[in-house]
Structure 1
Amino acid sequence: MKPMTRLGVGIGWRPEIADAVERLPGLDWVEVVAENACPGHLHPGLLRLRERGVHVVPHGVSLGLGGADRPDAGKLAALAERAVALGAPLVTEHIAFVRTTSPALEAGHLLPVPRTRDALAVLCENVRIAQDALPVPLALENIAALLAWPGEELTEGQFLTELVERTGVRLLIDVANLHTNRVNRGEDPATVLDGIPLEALAYVHVAGGVERDGVWHDTHAHPVPPVVLDVLAQLRERVDPPGVLLERDDDFPPEAELAGELERIRAVVGAAPGARRPDRTGPAALPDAAPGEGTARDTRATAPDGRAAPAARAAAPDDDAPDTGAARTRLGLGQAALLSALVAGTPVPEGFDRQRIRVQARALAAKRASVVAKVAPELPDLLGGPAAYRTAFLAYARQRPMTAGYRRDALDFAEHLLIQDLPADPAARRRLTTWWRDRAGARPPRRIVRWARALVGRAA
């Protein structure tokens, strides 16, 4: 595997902190949410960073490469366009699913894929499709999860090792997500780090979160806690990471606090690595491979209880893999059942922790309300403030799962209110009607149509 670009220490670029990011001392690189970057109209701050020689890496959140469907060609083309526009050395995405097509549902969040042979076969094929469409290398991130799938067949180490062997994809390891999964799923970060091919590491994410009622929430809105820096130190003992990045997405602190967090990260990354290395059989590093090519390597993963797990299969890329078409069907059924339970209130599939499903469902609804408020900041004002907006939106969300992204969700929410003759204040309702018409490109439904839709909805 060819050496990865040395990135150094960076921060997630967000418009809210664009000026502060430009002033941060010693900044080596930034990462931008790919879907928020417009190739023809890049933010001036990003352009100035590029002129200074600061690497900019697009980080996608909507491909859903772990989903049962093949990657959307339009989304891949958009990601490729952003990579070219930003002069990026690589692009990154997640090992997650975000939607289902039958039924058509959007999670609005990254959900875990089961560690099964079916899911691995589908993910590998999706990764190869993505690699063929992208002009630069692809790296995939491990995600944080509130819940676990029943009947998993592989450890995290086995799953990621086979993924790398079959596809040659790079890894983006989020140490905050490793801590999250320790709290929420009982997975030891050291065991995971010992089981994965760190020679495939592209870079590392570090972020903050908070624990509530025994559940760790990966918020990206809190300072990085010492326990996450400890996991970063464990990774540093095993490998010198090509890059480390601080993620902060909300509740941004003063500039000096951001600089202080970066300094603490630099201190951990700059520490001399210890002698401890993962105990592996076979070669110490993956042989060179072109993107999309599998490589063979004998390796032993470690089970969560610390015992040696069966040797991971490392023959030909698709040796003994299940038929991908059938695997997609089985995976799609399982993901649809889970996502429907989370966003549409259908029964919880057998084997899942019902309490965790409830926690995840509430978290998805809360995130959905928050993102729609950011996409359409006029809505809280039109409804009388954040509290009134949140109450109205959560009531709507219980009846209407998201099916086409947050912008469409904002328009559907506004239409839903108008159908219900809301807001109650006529002047506010007129303003909402004008807002809806300006964005929907059509006249809002007439009163008789609203009544008919409301009656049909009650009958259903």
Structure 2
Amino acid sequence: MVRLGTGIGWRPEIAGAVEEMPGIEWVEAVAENVCPGHLPESLVRLRERGVTVVPHGVSLGLGGAERPDEGRLAALAERATALGSPLVTEHIAFVRAGGPPADAPRLEAGHLLPVPRTRDALGVLCENVRIAQDALPVPLAVENIAALISWPGEEMTEGQFLYDLADRTGVRLLIDVANLHTNHINRGEDPALALAELPLEALAYVHVAGGFERDGVWHDSHAHPVPEPVLDILADLASRVSPPGVLLERDENFPEPAELEAELGAVRAALERGGRARGEVTAVGAGTPRPGTGGGAEARRRLALAQTAVLSALTAGAPVPDGFDPVRMGVQARALAAKRADVVAKVAPELPVVLGAEYRPAFLAYARVTPMTDGYRRDALDFVEHLLVEGRPDDGRARRALREWWLDRSGPKPRSHRPAARLARAARRVLPRR
């Protein structure tokens, strides 16, 4: 077991502050945002000082119906090697659906979505985790996620599901106490029960983060201060076991360094509070693991069909599947569309400039019925193509600017499902040169 200590999520926006922050023993970097051949100088300096860097993946989709992509696994392994990391981490989630298992077009969520806690899903997840473990040069730990929606017909609690996963695969667990709080508010799940059922000997480290509540729904934003209930769950966990590491996550809306340091101080205080109580709380294990099916073809197909139906409802305007709460599904769909709008604005910052106040409502209207199929950069191209074919925006100068932007970035090669030359001709018909 690697003892990590207290850390913070490394992000480019706060790289300088992290380097100067006292008491930082390790950092975590989003794996997909790190290029092994061109490591950020800040991470290089931290490593030279002996600060551990852990790559945290977000795109494997270990809870999906398909086996993990070999290219994504190779990329994660490469980052672990380049950073000299003692372990890598990912999520218990699905991030895409459709494709061959469902005999349907592939859909991307652009977000971590919950897997059903069923024997089918557990069997598929276990097989996917074993595939990932075999491909990675260091141990893997997987994280519980926050959820807005609940699957009908679940057969296990979160604690039981994680217990069986760790028991059957030997994978380590990254427990996010903020996500336990989120699921308490959104799904009525008891964080103390989840902690009592976990195999705490499998704990790799702990995440702590902030969020906000709106209309009875907790949003795991990673953009707000850590609330007291999350610190209480951390203290409860620390009363049961000494966590090998604890990390504060912040992804946007970054405060001044002093505020981050104060949050880290509150995290350390919660750990100390739990440590003083250790021994007074007895962890109750989940007992004998329940038998489960393997990740066979039929289990994968059933899971693929279910996940495709859910993601189609969330991103393509399809009907909400039976058993799901339509209100919560609507909240999740709007959250996914809003996240897509925010990320597309970051990867293609010219679009909000060209479209001005029209950008966000236009993108949200597009996202409600148009799923993402190949990442955010492709999403930006598809959005602009959609506007051009519709003859928008009304301002001719803005249309011409979008047309030039699209032609410049669509590339010289035809797209497999819609040749670029034909799209360019369509754009020229809509937007004749002046």
Structure 1 CA distance for aligned equivalents of residues 395 and 155 of structure 2 = 56
2:26 is matched with which residue? 29
Q: Give unpaired runs (5+ residues) of structure 2.
A: 413-419
2:229 is matched with which residue? 227
Structure 2 CA distance for aligned equivalents of residues 350 and 413 of structure 1 = 31
Aligned partner letter, 1:449: A
- 1:62 maps onto 2:39 in alignment: no
The match for 1:260 among 243, 259, 262 is 262
Contact preservation (8 Å) 1:383, 1:389:
yes
The match for 2:342 among 367, 370, 387 is 370
Structure 1 CA distance for aligned equivalents of residues 266 and 317 of structure 2 = 43
The match for 2:320 among 332, 336, 348 is 348
1:250 is matched with which residue? 252
Shift of 1:452: 8.8
Shift of 1:279: 4.5
The match for 2:218 among 216, 219, 222 is 216
Shift of 1:445: 5.4
The two structures have a TM-score, normalised by structure 2, of: 0.92
2:39 is matched with which residue? 42
Shift of 1:428: 2.3
2:187 is matched with which residue? 185
Contact preservation (8 Å) 2:119, 2:155:
yes
The match for 2:390 among 392, 408, 420 is 420
1:337 is matched with which residue? 309
Shift of 1:436: 1.9
Question: What is the SS of the residue equivalent to 1:267?
Answer: helix
Q: Which moved more, 1:428-437 or 1:205-214?
A: 428-437
2:408 is matched with which residue? 438
Structure 1 CA distance for aligned equivalents of residues 258 and 171 of structure 2 = 36
The match for 1:405 among 375, 391, 395 is 375
- 1:276 maps onto 2:253 in alignment: no
Structure 1 CA distance for aligned equivalents of residues 406 and 25 of structure 2 = 43
Question: What is the SS of the residue equivalent to 2:6?
Answer: strand
Structure 1 residues 204 and 19 mapped into 2: Cα distance closer, same or farther (>3 Å)? same
Contact preservation (8 Å) 2:240, 2:283:
no
Question: What is the SS of the residue equivalent to 1:383?
Answer: helix
Aligned partner letter, 1:276: E
Structure 1 residues 6 and 415 mapped into 2: Cα distance closer, same or farther (>3 Å)? same
1:325 is matched with which residue? 297
CA-to-aligned-CA distance 1:23-43 (integer Å, 9 cap, x gap):
111111110111100111111
Shift of 1:312: 3.2
CA-to-aligned-CA distance 1:224-279 (integer Å, 9 cap, x gap):
01111001000000010000000000111011101111111112223434223444
Structure 1 residues 48 and 320 mapped into 2: Cα distance closer, same or farther (>3 Å)? closer
2:119 is matched with which residue? 117
CA-to-aligned-CA distance 1:423-448 (integer Å, 9 cap, x gap):
32222222222222222214775675
Question: What is the SS of the residue equivalent to 1:63?
Answer: coil
The match for 1:137 among 126, 136, 139 is 139
Shift of 1:371: 0.8
Structure 1 CA distance for aligned equivalents of residues 421 and 337 of structure 2 = 26
Question: What is the SS of the residue equivalent to 1:77?
Answer: helix
Q: Give unpaired runs (5+ residues) of structure 1.
A: 282-298, 301-310, 314-318, 455-460
Aligned partner letter, 1:377: P
Percent identity between the two aligned chains: 69
CA-to-aligned-CA distance 1:344-382 (integer Å, 9 cap, x gap):
111111111111111111111111111111111111001
1:199 is matched with which residue? 201
The match for 2:361 among 381, 391, 408 is 391
Structure 1 CA distance for aligned equivalents of residues 407 and 295 of structure 2 = 48
Structure 1 residues 278 and 223 mapped into 2: Cα distance closer, same or farther (>3 Å)? same
CA-to-aligned-CA distance 1:191-230 (integer Å, 9 cap, x gap):
0000010110000000000000000000000000111100
CA-to-aligned-CA distance 1:378-399 (integer Å, 9 cap, x gap):
1100112xx3210111121123
Structure 1 CA distance for aligned equivalents of residues 75 and 120 of structure 2 = 28
2:171 is matched with which residue? 169
Q: Let me know the Cα RMSD of the aligned residues.
A: 1.8
Q: Which moved more, 1:414-423 or 1:397-406?
A: 414-423
Question: What is the SS of the residue equivalent to 1:211?
Answer: strand
The alignment of Structure 1 onto Structure 2 pairs a total of residues equal to: 417
- 1:312 maps onto 2:312 in alignment: no
Structure 1 CA distance for aligned equivalents of residues 294 and 31 of structure 2 = 33
Contact preservation (8 Å) 1:70, 1:126:
yes
Structure 2 CA distance for aligned equivalents of residues 18 and 399 of structure 1 = 37
More helix by share: 2
1:295 is matched with which residue? none
Question: What is the SS of the residue equivalent to 1:103?
Answer: strand
